[in-house]
Structure 1
Amino acid sequence: MQKTTKELIDGQALSKLQYTTFFVCFVMNILDGMDVMVISYCASAIASSWQVGPEELGMVFSSGLAGMMIGAMFLAPFADHIGRKRMILISAFLMGASVLMTAWSQTITQLIFLRFLSGIGIGSMLASTATLTAEYAPDRKKDFWVSFVLSGYPVGAVITGMVSANVVPEYGWAVMFILAGLASFICLPLIYFLLAESIYYYLKKQPKGALHLVNKILGRMEHVALDSLPEIELKSSGIPVNKLLNKEYSMPTLQLWTALFMAFGCLYFLLSWIPKLTEATGLSMSLAIYAGTVFNMGAFFGIISQGYISSRMGIKRTVALFLGITGILMATFKMFIGSNTLLFVIGLLGFTLQGGFVGLYVVAARIYPTEFRTTGLGWAIGVGRLGGVIGPALGGVLIGIGLSMAENFMIFSIPVILAGLITFYLASTKLS
């Protein structure tokens, strides 16, 4: 009997095509991190140049996050109709064009609009690359490879921070947006020539020549060709959202949404405001930018470590531990201001907060059955992003009324601790 595609992928060693797919998706998430964080690293320079206050900058940050929510919930699903590769190409082009045009923006309104557009591309890119990676990774290594691809996000943020520290003080903030936009355009050929379309997309949609296209990919993976297309490989998703709130899933769904909302709010408050807040403590602009870089460098190691620890401790306990430590560090942040350990603590915050945050994606993927897992994950991210929209805007208001860095950190420690507790007590038998 002919093996299914799933059995072929799960039963053999990874091929060059799969490694290439993971690498390209990793690079695309590096671009994601670059395009999200470039505004944060340039915020002080923009505020100084345009004479704008923290409330207006908060709206700029939030507009990008609102775009990410729209992109993840409403643009990315079109990948099921046009293919994952095409959607990744569209996302990269949208990111590159909007980020590049930002360099020539003249008003806050233009900046808000362009950040919203780039956010749509960023949100769609994240969802599309994670999906494509999951569909090419064997089950036994799926969690690792998806986490690896997502870890490209903080890598991009680190690269942007290092470049910004040298470029912004010397050449101005607009040059950073030119560089970030060009990076996306340069990667378009990388996507087109190296990235393979998802086999599962061909099997689900079965466009003209699908069997030939599938066998061409299987050949590159050194797998046996299919004799014919299966009648059903993946069922079409027509599950209404209320499935997430039926008797079995209502409690874990609401708990997950609440935890993600709070974690998103805290994370994006820190991502958006760390450079400017640390500058307010007396650090130079360059060192303030490096604070954001250290935060995201810690995130890369935190994401990888969380995946390793979760496989031994269980995902609920690991996420709760990471988020709980984050809350304690934020609540006691005042102790470290002015000391030599400040940058180390910021890196540790990146390690624990982003490690725990990415763990919530794993929680979402495990709670729901295959029949509506995509719907569950998409809505969890969408609801969580509302917290990401509110967090930076609230931070702008709090800074605007004169609260100190330590006071802001103490306020935002509350939701992240609550997110950890909610995750620990999440009512699902599918989690340990």
Structure 2
Amino acid sequence: MTQQTYKTSNSSHSYVDLKSVIDTRNLSWLQYTTIFICFLMNMLDGMDVLIISYTAPSIAAEWTISSETLGLVFSAGLLGMTAGAMFLAPKTDIIGRKPMILLSAILMAGSIFATAYANSIVHLVIFRFISGLGIGSMLASTPALTSEYTPNKTKDFWVSLVISGYPLGAFLSGLVAASVIPTYGWRTMYQVAGVATAITIPLIYFLLAESLDFLYKTQPKNALVKSNRILSKMGLDPLTHMPDVKKEAVKVSSFNSLFTDGRKGATIGLWVAFFMSFVTLYFLTSWIPKLAANTGLSLELAIYAGTVFNLGSFAGILTQGYLSGRFGLRKVIGTFLIMTALLMFTFSAFSGSILVLVLFGLIGFAIQGGFVGLYSVAARIYPTEVRTTGIGWAIGAGRIGALVGPLLGGLLIGMNVSTTINFLIFAIPAIVAGIATYMIKSKDVS
């Protein structure tokens, strides 16, 4: 890879100059390392979220507790993720991307490992809430950092790639759980997951770079030294002094900033799209095995339905990221979400056939591809000073939908509403999400 330097007449890079360099030069090893670590952390997010689902049957059997009681544990995790995204992640715009990712990893590793030694439902609820805090803030911080280290024309692909670690981690952890839990017990699964997460802490500390965008815009203590260290690793000339920043640009991020400077309409549209996408997505991820079994598939094939869904999701996320760079972010995401609804409308034609597994794979491809693209939209809508705040609150709005989808699905299934009708009902939020995405207006979103 050719090294490139960039100088200004003042022997100091300006923010605009460096942005131009990042947009036009090849990625440096530092940028690839940043992308890889963010991808890895999202894989661990997927593992840490789904681990309770894999271990719940064993916990229920050992402790002789009801599904309703375990529901409190599931809810505690989701509540923690919502709080982490909405209230912890915004601190990233104050303390920096790297410190928050490091803190999130510590919260996740400690609480997941501690769960192996839980002896009551109260312990489980506390540990799941704490791990949720880390997961929620991690999911908001990693796309923000990725977007700030990648070229504009391929930014959407890289952000999507990083978020694709989530379903991949869920899929791989399912394979590990299938071999670990029957042989060694559910507690060992939490020990394995806790250690796997803890291993990333030194990787983050020693290898992850702080965002140059953040250092330039907020100029914290030792910003010049930190910036020059990063510039050196990227093969760029050092700064003699920090670029001038307008006084009004250096300010504490706040919730209100999401609705100023012409961002009100885009913020509301983004929240609607996230909420509606989460409603459909979490209905599907929560109930697919049950719904597949209801169509007449064997128990084994019904379990495979979830696996096929996650594999389709991974492929959809990468495809969406590539297509968004070529045809425009809003257009591609909106199309993916509406395609989800159209596929769900065709469910009755596949019901009872093994081809329903193919349909689940295609639905996973469309819904996850569209949903993950919303992270790229959020990363583009908001400036550096409030980027993680914006992503975090959008995820938080979505998490409310994550509570509504499975709950409503459970009520409908309990009322013996047919699988076909369920799919028709939950196709509607996907359509609304697609339309809301099309209507998001921002000069920074194609």
Common fold by TM > 0.5: yes
Aligned 8 A contact 2:90 2:386 in 1? no
Aligned residues: 432
Q: Equivalent residues in 2 for 1:284-299 (5 A)?
A: 288-299=302-313
Distance 1:236 1:385, change over 3 A: farther
Distance 2:187 2:417 in 1: 30
Aligned 8 A contact 1:165 1:287 in 2? no
Match of 2:88 in 1: 75
Match of 2:353 in 1: 339
- Range moving further from structure 2, 89-98 or 368-377: 368-377
Gaps of 5+ in 2: 1-8
Aligned 8 A contact 1:55 1:397 in 2? no
Aligned 8 A contact 2:153 2:325 in 1? no
Match of 1:362 among 369, 372, 376: 376
Q: Equivalent residues in 2 for 1:140-289 (5 A)?
A: 140-232=153-245, 235-238=249-252, 241-242=255-256, 244-245=258-259, 249-278=263-292, 288-289=302-303
Distance 1:170 1:346 in 2: 30
Residue 207 of structure 1, CA deviation: 4.3
Match of 1:300 in 2: 314
Gaps of 5+ in 1: none
Match of 1:420 in 2: 434
Match of 1:65 in 2: 78
Q: Equivalent residues in 2 for 1:395-414 (5 A)?
A: 395-403=409-417, 405-414=419-428
Match of 1:319 in 2: 333
Aligned 8 A contact 2:378 2:390 in 1? yes
Distance 1:187 1:86 in 2: 14
Aligned 8 A contact 2:258 2:267 in 1? yes
Distance 1:425 1:133 in 2: 25
**Matched letter for residue 222 of structure 1:** G
Match of 2:131 among 118, 123, 135: 118
Match of 1:128 among 135, 138, 141: 141
**Matched letter for residue 13 of structure 2:** K
SS at match of 1:31: helix
SS at match of 2:154: helix
Residue 404 of structure 1, CA deviation: 5.4
SS at match of 1:90: helix
Residue 31 of structure 1, CA deviation: 0.5
Distance 1:345 1:397, change over 3 A: same
Percent identity, aligned pairs only, is 55
Match of 2:150 in 1: 137
Distance 1:99 1:405 in 2: 35
Residue 351 of structure 1, CA deviation: 0.6
Match of 1:27 in 2: 40
| TM-score when normalising by structure 1 | 0.87
Distance 2:350 2:63 in 1: 32
Distance 2:66 2:427 in 1: 24
Distance 1:138 1:429 in 2: 17
| TM-score when normalising by structure 2 | 0.85
- Range moving further from structure 2, 120-129 or 71-80: 71-80
Distance 2:261 2:245 in 1: 29
Aligned 8 A contact 2:83 2:133 in 1? yes
Aligned 8 A contact 2:156 2:373 in 1? no
Distance 2:106 2:48 in 1: 12
